[in-house]
Each structure stands twice: as C-alpha cells, then as structure tokens.
Amino acid sequence: MTASNHHWRQFKNLFMQGLTLVCAVLVVLPLLLVFFHLVKEGFGALNWNFFTKLPKAVGEPGGGMANAIAGTFILLGQAALVGVPVGVLGGVYLSEYGSSKLNWWLRFAADILNGVPSITWGIVVYALMVVPMRGPSALAGGVVLGLMMIPLVMRTTEEVLQLVPAGYREAAFALGIPQWKTIVQIVLRTALKGIVTGVLLALARVAGETAPLLFTAFGNLGWAHSLKEPIAALPLQIFNYAISPYDDWHRQAWAGALVLLLLVLVINVSVRFLTRDRFGKRQ
Amino acid sequence: MTETNDMPQTTPKTGDNAAAIPALAVRNLAVHFGKNKVLKDVTIDIAAQAVTAIIGPSGCGKSTFLRALNRMHELNPDAHMDGDIRLFGDDIYARHVEPVVVRRRVGMVFQKSNPFPTMSIAENVTVGLRLNGMKDKKLLAGRIEQSLQMAALWDEVKDRLNAPAISLSGGQQQRLCIARALAVKPEVLLMDEPASALDPLATQKIEDLIIDLKKEYTIVIVTHNMQQAARISDFTAFFYLGELVEFDRTKKIFTNPARKQTEDYVTGRFG
C-alpha cells in the first residue's frame, strides 16, 4: 500500500492499455495499406472504358473489364438465389424448430462446411456440374458460390433469430397466432436487419472468391451469351491479368482489384443503410 | 389433524355468480417438466366476470398454473399435463382442440411488456386479428379505438397511432399489451405479474384497469404483491409447493384464512 506500489500499478495499467491500443491499430493498418496501395496502382487505369469496354488484345490501348464486372454481379445474383433461401430457412429451422440433438449435428456440419477450402467446393461442383454439362458455365459458378453462402447465411440467421427475445414469440402465441405466421411476421421481421446484414456479408465474402471459379465459371474474355457459357468474373480476370507478363494488364489487374474492394466496401456500407428500420435509427 | 382433512374450498359462494357456470373449471391438474413436478392435483373453479388472484412464494407453480390455462406451458417440450380444464364447459385439452384456438379465447399479458418493436401502436393492437386473417380495414380501425379505450390508453395515443410502439413509456407499453390481448376478444384474460416491473403510478393505472375490465372479462392474475391481490381481486388462491393450499373470497383469505400456512404467508411470516 505504499506510494511506489501505486505508481508501479499505474504504470502496468497504462502499459497494458497502450499495448491493446497498438494491437487495435494493427487491425486497421492492413486495411489502410491495401486500400492505399490499390488506389495508387489501380486508380490510374480506372476510366469510363474500364467499366464499359471488353478486354482488348495485348498491346492495344483501351479496353476494360465490363464483362468481368457484369459477370461478378450475375454470379452473385445466382449465388443469392441458391444461398439465401436455403440458408435463411435452414437458420429458421435451427432456431425455431429443431431438436437440440439434431441441431448439434446441423451446426457441426455447417461449421465444417464454413471451413472447407474454397478450391474443394470448386472441385465438387466441377465433378457434379461441369463434367456432366460438358464444360464450365456461369451456372456452375453461381451454384458453387451459392453453396458456399449456405452455411454462412444459416449460422448468422440462426444467431440473429436467437437474439429475438422469447417474449415476442410468447406474446404472439398467446394471441393465438400460428407458429409459422409468428416466425414470418414477428420473429423474422424483428431480426430482418441482422439477416440482411448476414446475407450481404456472405455475398461480400464470396464476391472475392477466385479458386472455386477457376474450373466452374472459368472466365471469358468476351460476353457470356447464356448461363451455360463460361463467364468472366472480377477475381478471375484479376488473376489472369496479374500472372500475365504485360504491364498494361498488370495495371488493369490493379484497377480490377480496386473495383472489387470498392464493391465489397459498398456492400458493407449499404448494410448499414438498408437496414435502418422504418422508424429511423434507434438500435 | 382436522386441518389436513378439510380440503381447499373449490367453489366459493359468489353471490351473483353462484349459479353461473365457472369460466374455468380445473380438475386434478398436474403438470411436470421432465421429472420435475410443478403442479399437483389442483382443483379449482374460476368465476366468470371476476378477478381471481393467484398468490404464493416463488417456485410454487403459480405461473405454470396460469400457463396451463391457455396451454402456453406446452411451449416447453418437456411439459406434461394431467387432469382436465374446461373453459365455459369446453375441454381445452380435448384431442381435436388446437392450442392456437384455446389461446384466442384465453388471452395473456406478461410480466415484461412486449409490444412488437417492428410495429406501430395501431399495428400492435390489431396484430392478433390481422395475422388470423382479418382484413376489413373499417373493422380493424374500430377495434383499435375500442381496445385502446378499454385499456385506458386511447387518450394518450390517439394522435400518434402510427408511432412506434416502443416509443411509449413502460406503463403505456404494458397497457398497449393489454389492448393487444383484448383486441382479439378473449373470454378470459390471464395476467402474469403485469405490474411488477412498473412504478407505483403506472401500477395503479393497471389496477384500475383490471377492476374496470372485470365487468366484461374473467381475469386471473398472478401477483407477488399481497396488497395488490387484496385491492383488486374477488377471489384469491394460495399456492405452495405446487399445491393449491387455499382458495376463497379474497376478503376471507386476508382476514380469516382457514389454513395456518395461508395466514403465515399473507401476514408476511414466510415466503
């Protein structure tokens, strides 16, 4: 209980506080590094052509990644069609219906699926879709991304549904409202913000996937005219351009990476916007 | 020895309602959750258009008893019930009777007010009707006013029916929950400590409201507050360790109870 003891404790306290602050900054630092580097290298190659033109042959000036940008959106749209309904309804089952024993296994399976390397997903869909369909296709690319979304969406849906206080369910049941209507109109509505957030974050996560698309969507230097054709995607195009020996393509790869990062950023920001509930910000 | 032989009185003389059919006739009700017996052999008649208070120390089974009256206890998958409960003569546990139907006839208000946060005041009132298929806008509008009037909330919210329900104060939220329960026109209203989370002023409003409501409704209220039971109820049932110890007119329970246990409890000597 001496004065020096007090100073020593104060010092330890300050030291630990400083240490955690340094680590917190270290979390943000990589994001800033990535962002500034991409802006520095890629911004110069960003222009109207980049968003509207198809890739040109090496050496020809101009050209863009319109096909890859559109392709990424098409793939994400398909992925959402596969991943969102299955994921959300699966999450509803886990949270609202399932028995604890079955739930344990379902959660276990979902967690394992979340950890499956993305290239493994690619191989599986390659064997199940690409081989029987005799070639890579946009469809296969959408399906593989959708499959990857399912466990992500399912777990986040379950988590946010669990956050809905049991009192709301009880209140609805006590009014004689059937369970499925309670789930749709009360529970899901209350948790909508969280579910949309989960879905968008899952989309952001698969938007950057490259490995599973290598042998499913495959990539395409032109437009895909149907979902049965190979389709371009930003990550694929970045990959192909980055490993090429041409400076021109390298610049375009940087620009593509910047666009991809901005896309993910936009998704994250819109999460915050879209999900403000109709009574304004309160939560 | 004489004390153990005299069974709790199950059908107190009620004056006006003496000949009337009880709102709820409970016979040999037993409820257990897994191996845990929560209620044993409860037999009681709950009079219509009266307030019946359920009192007893924590864990005595009073909430379970209340929830058995509209089958809410079935939300717990381990729950098992024996016995017989009749709502104005209808067996609510009969095989073809769905809990959903029972709960439309026996409404419930909870300890913690729970208006739906995604809905406005008006939407909260009508939710039970709308989600059960009522679409008639005029009828719904009428029911909003009627229910809020009955819950003594209309004057405070009539200018902001479309405001979010959770913008109301705690006491107003609880009255909104009462309005929401009344909107589906139940025959019986169960209340599980509806005022225990409220300040004295809000509590008084709820109590006045309950006394008002018994003109039309049968009310069963669980309360920890002995004075509240004495103030608002016509009949009081004292539960202890899962058994109905004594059931009689409130006045008798609080002035001249038949059982020593009851007397000890209402005078604050235990519990």
The maximal CA–CA distance of chain A, rounded, in angstroms, is 81
With pLDDT > 70 as the criterion, what percentage of chain B qualifies?
93
CA B74, B214, B163 angle in degrees (round to 5)?
75
**Per-residue pLDDT at B46 exceeds 50:** yes
Determine, yes or no, domain membership for A278: no
User: Nearest residue on chain A to B100, judged by CA atoms?
Assistant: A176
Which residue range(s) make up the domain with B212?
Answer: 2-266
User: Nearest residue on chain A to B133, judged by CA atoms?
Assistant: A177
Stated as kind and residue range, the H or E segment containing B75 is none
Which residue range(s) make up the domain with A165?
Answer: 70-235
The maximal CA–CA distance of chain B, rounded, in angstroms, is 63
- A177 vs B102, B132, B166: nearest CB: B132
**Per-residue pLDDT at B53 exceeds 50:** yes
Q: Where are the alpha helices (DSSP H) in B36-192?
A: 62-68, 99-105, 121-130, 137-150, 154-157, 170-183
- Distance, in angstroms, between A168 CA and closest chain B CA? 6
Determine, yes or no, domain membership for A40: no
Q: What is the pLDDT of residue B18?
A: 46
Determine, yes or no, domain membership for A33: no
- Residues in A whose CB is inside 8 Å of some CB of B read 99, 165, 167-178, 181-182, 185-186, 189-190, 192, 277-279, 282
CB B52 within 8 A of CB B216: no
Q: Return the CATH number at A146.
A: 1.10.3720.10
CA distance A160 to A91: 9
User: Per-residue pLDDT tens for A89-141?
Assistant: 999 999 999 888 999 999 999 999 999 999 999 999 999 999 999 999 999 99
ipTM value: 0.88
> Average of pLDDT values for B214-235?
95
Which amino acid is residue B243, in one-letter code? E
Task: Strands of chain B (E only): list them.
Answer: 24-33, 36-46, 51-55, 79-87, 90-91, 106-109, 188-192, 218-222, 235-240, 243-249
CA distance B88 to B83: 16
Which of A97, A173, A196 to mutate: most B Cβ within 10 Å?
A: A173
Determine, yes or no, domain membership for A50: no
- Distance, in angstroms, between B44 CA and closest chain A CA? 22
Determine, yes or no, domain membership for A61: no
Total domains present in chain B: 1
Determine, yes or no, domain membership for A266: no
Long-range contact pairs involving B147-156 (C-beta distance under 8 Å, separation at least 24): B147/B179, B147/B180, B147/B182, B147/B183, B148/B176, B148/B179, B150/B178, B150/B179, B150/B182, B150/B212, B150/B213, B151/B175, B151/B176, B151/B178, B151/B179, B151/B182, B151/B209, B152/B205, B152/B208, B152/B209, B152/B212, B153/B179
User: Per-residue pLDDT tens for A10-52?
Assistant: 999 999 999 999 999 999 999 899 999 999 999 988 889 899 9
Determine, yes or no, domain membership for B49: yes
**Per-residue pLDDT at B26 exceeds 50:** yes
CB atoms within 10 A of CB A118: 18
Residues in chain A: 283
Determine, yes or no, domain membership for A152: yes
Q: Return the CATH number at B203.
A: 3.40.50.300
Stated as kind and residue range, the H or E segment containing A40 is helix A3-42
Q: What is the pLDDT of residue A271?
A: 81
Q: What is the pLDDT of residue B105?
A: 96
Determine, yes or no, domain membership for A98: yes
Total domains present in chain A: 1
User: Nearest residue on chain B to A172, judged by CA atoms?
Assistant: B128
CB-based contact B177 A170, cutoff 8 Å? no
Cβ-Cβ contacts under 8 Å between A and B: the total is 78
User: Nearest residue on chain A to B111, judged by CA atoms?
Assistant: A167
What part of B 167-206 touches A (C-beta under 8 Å)? 167, 177, 180-181, 184
Within 8 A by CB and 6+ apart from B243, the residues are B39, B40, B41, B42, B61
User: Per-residue pLDDT tens for B122-138?
Assistant: 999 999 999 998 999 99
Q: What is the pLDDT of residue A279?
A: 58
CB A143 within 8 A of CB A215: no
- What per-residue string of b and e applies to A56-76 under the rule 16 or more CB within 10 Å gives b? eeeeeeebbbbbbbbbbebbb
Please state, in angstroms and as integers, the Cα–Cα distance from residue A88 to each residue in A81, A106, A151, following that order: 11, 14, 10
